[in-house]
Amino acid sequence: MAVPTETFYQFPEGFLWGSSTSGPQTEGTVEGDGKSMSNWDYWYSIAPEKFHAQIGPKDTSTFYKNYRKDISLLKETGHTVFRTSIQWSRLIPKGTGEVNQQAVAFYREVFSEIKKQGIQLIVNLYHFDLPYCLQEIGGWENKEIVYAFESYARTCFDLFGDIVDTWITFNEPIVPVECGYLGEYHYPCKVDMKAAVQVAYHTQLASSLAVKACHEMNSNHKICIVLNLTPAYPRSESSEDKTAARLAELFQTKSFLDPSVLGTYPEELISIVKEHDLLPEWTQEELDIIKENTVDFLGVNYYQPLRVQAPSADSKEKLTLDSFFAPYDMPGKKINPHRGWEIYEKGIYDIGINLKEHYGNIEWLVTENGMGVEGEEKFRKDGVIEDDYRIEFIEDHLIELHRAIQDGSNCKGYMLWTFIDCWSWLNAYKNRYGLVELNLESQERIIKKSGYWFKELSQNNGFRK
């Protein structure tokens, strides 16, 4: 009887292993810390019932108090790279102007401690969190916010540029557009496609201005944007379904990918927004800024594929994204039963090959990939979460990532979401993603089985399966 053979998946020398998190999901709020109200703080103050178990952004995973212990656990779980974010509302409480010196001290200590551990640091400027005082003047619909963001970015580069040399402008910028202006999942909960297009354009312009500022202030620093590049797969080979998939990628992926990497918007996207009278207010000077200030590399978040089909006739009555494509629930799909999301590992391969073939084989990192699990405590054995399902999820995605690298895709690292179970927007702590368990009552941190496995993965720069 033949014995099944195992393969060792060796990754390139210098490949980075780590995880991503964000300031608003981990830091929490401590009395007297000088932080102002963000859009999330405000929304929670007026509608706490929207948040799972009414746990709001004040009660996140206490990184502000416990960062030294948390950073030591990065080392214990094999991190060679770590990504977090600065909270704009903490650093510049009024959005512009005076800097909160407590925040400067906090972030300098955090960043220095990470670097001291020999861990490469990537710092994100914006992870869905806007100072609420700027939301009051229209948020990202108002072009003033673009220049406020540029000033904030320059302040960050000035204050922390001696410690941080790798930056991110925005995390998943399409998400606040879709969730805040085409749905009711982020504040300000508007459904207005013209406003959505304006917000997307302003966000891209702000990102490009931050790239420009970064390169002007220190030409050795690298800066990227993090995009959730969810491939769209059609229900069938019919022309209608294939068109729906093309349009889904146009709106959800290429709307930020093309201007960020290539410096231009897709002609088809411009034609569609023009046809439906959705063009944002713009100037040629702004388009030149976007053209001339593309990112140095790309961060890619991938969780699940986007399955689509042709829209129904009645969905075209009021103009929304549903007018162009409709979701498709594919029968028999592999699924995470603890979260309800499809698992489709090949998506990460398809992303890598798309970047190779259509985006100049730009250097990229997987900046988020992970498995959320509700009720994870049921897998505890002898005090430790035995999360073999998470290990298998990571392995199966890494096999496809390895294949993409073998086929020439220029991927330089893999970062899991996330390090320690963290607060997640409307879901609070419902779904756990961490390599480290957070006990909400005691604030104890306990490394899961996957955390020990991840250290071996990092030390071996690969794994056997």
pLDDT digits (tens, 9 = 90+) for 370-400: 999 999 999 999 999 999 999 999 999 999 9
Res 445: pLDDT: 94
Task: Please state whether the peptide bond connecting residue 96 to the residue before it is cis, i.e. omega within 30 degrees of 0.
Answer: no
| CA 123/CA 105 separation, integer angstroms | 16
Res 2: pLDDT: 60
Per the residue annotation, which of 27, 172, 345, 376 is the catalytic one? 172
Asked if residues 356 and 402 have their Cβ atoms less than 8 Å apart, the reply is no
Nearest alpha carbon to residue 368 among 21, 57, 85: 21
Clarify whether 150 is annotated catalytic: no
Reduced DSSP (H G I as helix, E B as strand, rest coil) percent helix, strand, coil of the chain, to 5? 45, 20, 35
Q: What is the 3-state secondary structure (H, E, C) of 75-89?
A: HHCCCCEEEEECCHH
Question: pTM here?
Answer: 0.95
Per the residue annotation, which of 286, 368, 376, 437 is the catalytic one? 368
Res 315: pLDDT: 63
Res 135: pLDDT: 97
pLDDT digits (tens, 9 = 90+) for 128-181: 999 999 999 999 999 999 999 999 999 999 999 999 999 999 999 999 999 999
| CA 70/CA 120 separation, integer angstroms | 16
Helix axes 174-181, 193-217, angle to 10 degrees: 150
The type of residue at 371 is M
Residue 186: CB atoms within 10 A of its CB come to: 20
Element (H, E) at 406: helix 388-406
Nearest alpha carbon to residue 418 among 83, 114, 27: 83
Clarify whether 281 is annotated catalytic: no
Q: Which two tokens stand for residue 162?
A: 């001696």
What domains are defined for the chain? 17-464 (3.20.20.80)
pLDDT per residue rounded down to tens, the chain (465 residues): 565 678 999 999 999 999 999 999 999 888 899 999 999 999 999 999 999 999 888 888 889 999 999 999 999 999 999 999 999 999 999 999 999 999 999 999 999 999 999 999 999 999 999 999 999 999 999 999 999 999 999 999 999 999 999 999 999 999 999 999 998 889 999 999 999 999 999 999 999 999 999 999 999 999 999 999 988 999 999 999 999 999 999 999 999 999 999 999 999 999 999 999 999 999 999 999 999 999 999 999 999 999 999 998 776 667 888 889 999 998 999 988 888 889 999 999 999 999 999 999 999 999 999 999 999 999 999 999 999 999 999 999 999 999 999 999 999 999 999 999 999 988 889 999 999 999 988 889 999 999 999 999 999 999 998
Helix axes 101-116, 144-160, angle to 10 degrees: 50
Q: Which residues contact 350 (CB under 8 A, 6 or more apart)?
A: 231
Rg (CA), the chain: 21
Helix axes 193-217, 144-160, angle to 10 degrees: 30
